[in-house]
Structure formats: C-alpha cells, structure tokens
Amino acid sequence: MTIYFTKDHEWIRVEGDTGTVGITAYAAGQLGDVVYVELPETGAKFSKGDDFAVVESVKAASDVYAPVSGSVVEVNGALADAPETVNAAAEGDAWFVRVKLADRAELSGLMDQAAYEAFCEGL
C-alpha cells in the first residue's frame, strides 16, 4: 500500500489496481470549516486532472481534481451528513471516493509523502 500526493493537494492510497482518494490535511486547513462535499456517482469515469468533486467551506467552493484516471467504484456517503469530518480526519475517515485505476503508470507523476511535505513547506 502506497500513498501519493498531487500539487493540488489530493492524496491517493493505492492497493493493487484500486485507489482511495481524498484531500490533504493541508488543503482542509486552508479551506477552513467544510460544510458540504459533492461527490460523483459510482460508475463515473474521470481522466487525470478532471474536477470530480467539490468541497465547500462557509466562504467558498473549491474543485477537487482526479489524481489519476479511473472509474469510481465507491463513494464515501458518510460525508453527506458529516462534512466536518474533512477537517477532523482529511487523510483518514474523510476519504472521498475509491477508484479503479485506468493506468498505474500515471502514479509515477505524483509525489510521495516526503516530497509533498517539502512542497507544502515551500508554499
């Protein structure tokens, strides 16, 4: 199991050809109090970089981008009733979707934990 990160502050935890996707704790901190998360439906297909979800704070709405291409196999329905989980556990319970990866080779373009931490420090 390996976790990867994007410059847009999404994470993807990969097991075999399935990935669990969410936004990072850094992103959640920047957004502030999350009040709504809009998720795609199971079966939806995305290309790497597509906006596939929306996360809204009191003040603003922000797009969430697909870290890799794939199709949605499961969505985290618990976020509908408890969007604040994104602030409490961005990289744990507040996962957004599970996707079936279309092309594992896309993972090589993402950052590992250390690289992402260094990236955030530079912001």
- Contact residues for another protein, defined by CB under 8 A: 32-33, 35-36, 38, 54, 56-61, 80, 83
The nearer residue to another protein, 54 or 111, going by C-beta atoms, is 54
Report CA 15 to chain centroid distance, whole Å.
15
Q: Phi/psi zone of residue 49: left (φ > 0), alpha (ψ -120 to 50 degrees), beta?
A: left
Q: How far is the CB of 58 from another protein (least distance, A)?
A: 4
d(CA 123, CA 117): 10
Q: In angstroms, rounded to a whole number, what is the distance separating the alpha carbons of residues 83 and 69?
A: 25
Q: How far is the CB of 9 from another protein (least distance, A)?
A: 17
CB-nearer residue toward another protein: 29 or 109: 29
CB of 11 to another protein, least distance (A): 22
Shortest distance (Å) from residue 27 CB to another protein: 14
Q: Could you give the angle at the alpha carbon of 23 between the alpha carbons of 36 and 18, nearest 5°? A: 110
| Complex with another protein: residue 4 or 46, whichever CB lies closer | 46
